[in-house]
Amino acid sequence: MTQWKTLSRDPRRLVIEERLKSVRRVVPVMSPKGGVGKTVMSALTALTLAEKGLRIGILDLDVTNPSIHLALGVDSRLKPSEERGVIPPEVWGVRVMSVAYYSEGNPLPLRGFELVDVVREVLAITVWGALDYLIVDTPPGMSDVFMEVLNNVRRVEPLVVTTPSPLSLKPVKSLLKILREVGVPVLGLVENMSDRPSEHVLSLCREYGVRYLGNVPNDPFLNASVGDVDTMRRTQAFRRVEELLRAQELLR
Amino acid sequence: MVHEWALAEGVCKYVASVAKGKRLRRVRIALGELQSIDENVFRFALTELLKTQGFEVDEDVVEFVARYAVLQCRRCGHSWGLGETGLSEEEREAVHFIPEVIHAYTSCPKCGSRDFEVVEGRSVEILEVLWDDSVEDAIT
């Protein structure tokens, strides 16, 4: 007897786990609010971990506004190589994957379901190899990309970024609520652009049982160093991120 | 070894998930023009991958259906094909990896909007998996 079955599942989703099987920890850097420093925090975290000899990858899922390649000063001539998928080039000891390799700096306006396709495509074709950490820079909001990461990547441990502003804290509270509802453990919360720990942020961490990693003061030299990693490494922000990661024993 | 292997892996996993241990009759796959999949490479990759899953893959098992790309503007409704986009080789190569980046390189020839839909011919799509079996129920 002949049997048949039509497609009820997206085949790309079936290989995502395979692609990430040798990645020890997947850390999406998240915040529903824009402008709180997710990209810089992603870049600083990846660079710090790589400097300590850990195997690090960074994936830019801010698809319509990719900027990790700018933060890390990735040479625009660099492209992923092909070997049963695409292999991200290594920059400053970090394997960097971004749609920017393919969009070449052109505007890339996309609808939600198109973003879903991009996320699945990238996750399905990128061959990371063995990594200790895969840092994922995510766009603001809790929309398509956010949900695709939660639904398609097992064992994520988000690093939540906020500023002390109530305009950032309220959306972060919603984010923590959603992560708790779906049982996703939060790696920790960083209070960015803040000279000292804010009671509101600490209180939010206590309420949701989230580890407060610490505050990172606003660093006037950081923006000027973007794209120049040697200079970025000399900033106060870089040293502070290093301190926080060491204090939390994440540098291993 | 090109990235067609990565896409073939997904198809192989799907086939294995529905027909593991069965005798395959046909795997029919649509190949969208936008992704410019190399048919020979994809066939070779899929056949080899299916063999590793214990399938016997006769020559005529894997069947491809070409799907031309149809783009439609969401702003003015105009429809056009890939041939009208005038993409360069480098741009086609970029679209090959991530089809959605076509929005970075072209816009509606009538109104200039980049808000267009790829109505058909985006990428790889499994149309049908057919096997011999006397136990499994057909699912649509």
Question: What are the average pLDDT values for consecutive 10-residue runs of chain A, which has 252 residues?
Answer: 57 94 97 97 97 96 97 94 95 98 96 96 97 98 97 95 97 98 97 97 98 95 93 95 88 66
Determine the structural domain holding residue B41 and report its residue range. 2-13+23-130
Coil, strand or helix at A110: coil
What confidence score (pLDDT) does residue A103 get?
96
Whether residue A99 and residue B101 make contact (CB cut-off 8 A), yes or no, is yes
Assess: ipTM above 0.90: yes
What confidence score (pLDDT) does residue A252 get?
67
Q: How many separate domains does chain B show? A: 1
Residue B46 in domain: yes
Residue A187 half-sphere exposure, CB side, CA atoms within 13 Å?
22
Residue B140 in domain: no
What confidence score (pLDDT) does residue A245 get?
92
What confidence score (pLDDT) does residue B136 get?
44
DSSP chain B: --THHHHHHHHHHHHHHHHTTSEEEEEEEEEEGGGT--HHHHHHHHHHHHHHTT----TTSEEEEEE--EEEETTT--EEEGGGT---HHHHHHHHH-GGGHHHH---TTT--S-EEEEE--SEEEEEEEEE-SSPPPB-
Whether residue A122 and residue B10 make contact (CB cut-off 8 A), yes or no, is no
Chain B positions in Cβ-Cβ contact with residue A102 (cut-off 8 Å): 94-95, 97-98, 101, 104
Indicate the pTM of the whole model: 0.94
Residue found under tokens 């006037």: A220
Residue B18 in domain: no
Residue B139 in domain: no
Give bridge partners of residue A96 from the DSSP assignment.
A58
What confidence score (pLDDT) does residue A247 get?
85
Chain B positions in Cβ-Cβ contact with residue A99 (cut-off 8 Å): 98, 101
Residue B138 in domain: no
**Nearest C-alpha of chain A: how many angstroms from B137?**
7
Residue B114 in domain: yes
B63 CB within 8 Å of a chain A CB = no
What confidence score (pLDDT) does residue A248 get?
81
What CATH number is associated with residue B109? 3.30.2320.50
CA distance A193 to A216: 6
Residue B135 in domain: no
Tell me the torsion sign for CA atoms A191, A195, A200, A203: positive
Residue B58 in domain: yes
Q: What percent of chain B has pLDDT over 70?
A: 94
